[in-house]
Amino acid sequence: MEKIIITAAICGAEVTKEHNPNVPYTVTEIAEEARRSYEAGASIIHLHVRFNDGTPTQDAVRFKECMDAIRKNCPAVIIQPSTGGATGMANDERLQPIELSPEMATLDCGTMNFGEDDIFINSISTIKYFAQKMLEKGIKPELEVFDRSMINTAMHLVTKEYIKKPLHFNLVLGVKGGIGASLAEFSFMRESLPPESTFTATGIGRHQFSVAAMAAVSGGHIRVGFEDNIYLEPGVLAESNGQLIEKAVRIAKELGREPATPEEARKILKLRGAK
Ligand code: KMH
Ligand code: ZN
């Protein structure tokens, strides 16, 4: 079977040191968590950044500092900045990391309740605006879909030529407000993808590793990390993102999938830097 791309979502915008003291905030902490993830087998770092007090920011200067520090620790790794940021951020605030011309970035494909009180706003015109910017800069969008309807929205944008094939999706399962993470829900999402697209799957909270296994056996790729889950096993906080990646690698290998290097991942995803 094809090699498996493991993405490490090392920090996120919502999880804090109160949830798990090992969540990285500073540039050094973020770069160190990226290194641990890479050494454990991750080929993509999905990146949010924080100020030193933990406040999430999309500030381009802070992103550049973190990206430079990550590249120093693991030069080959693919860095995938978030354009989702945190709920409540304005569009142009969220888009700032695009100015750094990363190889990939996320493109969130719909509006939804996000947890108990927050609303994650992505109108169709917002998604088009983000997609157009990525197209102009040759940045491959990872299409973040939190529910089935968001796949329809992504396909609408393909028709309108805001997004070019081959498509790459991230099926995010288990956010409160989005689709759940059962096998039936995973299969429904997976079967709804257009042919020839690649996909990663992300299970939130206790669903992290069951969704990883579903992705591994069905030809997909895996995302794990503190952004989505802080536990190594029930009741046991992970000491680092590296531990979560190691567990994902063990699952993937048992299921016959070897982790892809960043170079292999670039080829599989047809990124602009692929050799
Ligand atoms: N922080 C969430 C509101 C993304 O990275 O593009 C959105 C998010 C998705 O994390
Ligand atoms: Zn994210």
- pLDDT of 120: 98
Q: 275: pLDDT confidence band, cut at 50, 70 and 90?
A: confident
| Residue of 98, 127, 96 lying closest to 111 (CA atoms) | 127
Q: Which of 14, 55, 82 has the most ligand 1 atoms within 8 A of CB, as the residue to mutate? A: 82
Q: Which of 44, 106, 146 has the most ligand 1 atoms within 8 A of CB, as the residue to mutate? A: 106
pLDDT digits (tens, 9 = 90+) for 107-161: 999 999 999 999 999 999 999 999 999 999 999 999 999 999 999 999 999 999 9
**Domains within the chain, CATH numbers bracketed:** 6-269 (3.20.20.70)
- 121: CA distance to ligand 2 center in Å? 14
**Rounded CA gap, 140 and 94, in Å?**
17
- 115: CA distance to ligand 1 center in Å? 12
- pLDDT of 273: 78
Nearest CA to ligand 1 atom 4: 84
What are the structure tokens assigned to 163, written together? 């997004």
Distance in angstroms between the alpha carbons of the first and the last residue of the chain: 21
Q: How far is CA 132 from CA 112, 129, 161, 269, in A?
A: 22, 5, 9, 19
Ligand 1 interacting residues, C-beta cut-off 6 A? 13-14, 82-84, 86-87, 106, 108, 114, 120, 144
**Rounded CA gap, 124 and 109, in Å?**
8
- 108: CA distance to ligand 1 center in Å? 7
- pLDDT of 244: 99
Amino acid identity of residue 171, one-letter, is: L
Angle between helices 148-159 and 183-191 (to 10 degrees): 10
Average pLDDT (228-232) is 98
- pLDDT of 24: 99
- 48: CA distance to ligand 2 center in Å? 6
pLDDT digits (tens, 9 = 90+) for 51-89: 999 999 999 999 999 999 999 999 999 999 999 999 999
pLDDT digits (tens, 9 = 90+) for 190-199: 999 999 999 9
To the nearest whole number, what is the mean pLDDT of the chain? 98
Residue 148: other Cβ atoms inside 10 A: 15
**Angle at alpha carbon of residue 190, lines to 186 and 196, rounded to 5°:** 160
Nearest CA to ligand 1 atom 10: 84
Nearest CA to ligand 1 atom 1: 86
Nearest CA to ligand 1 atom 9: 84
pLDDT digits (tens, 9 = 90+) for 32-54: 999 999 999 999 999 999 999 99
- 169: CA distance to ligand 1 center in Å? 14
pLDDT at residue 1 greater than cutoff 80: no
Q: Which atom of ligand 1 is nearest to the CA of 83?
A: 6
Q: At 190, is the secondary structure helix, strand, or coil?
A: helix
Average pLDDT (221-235) is 98
The DSSP line for 31-59 is HHHHHHHHHHT--EEEE-EE-TTS-EE--
List phi, psi (to 5°) of 41.
130, 5
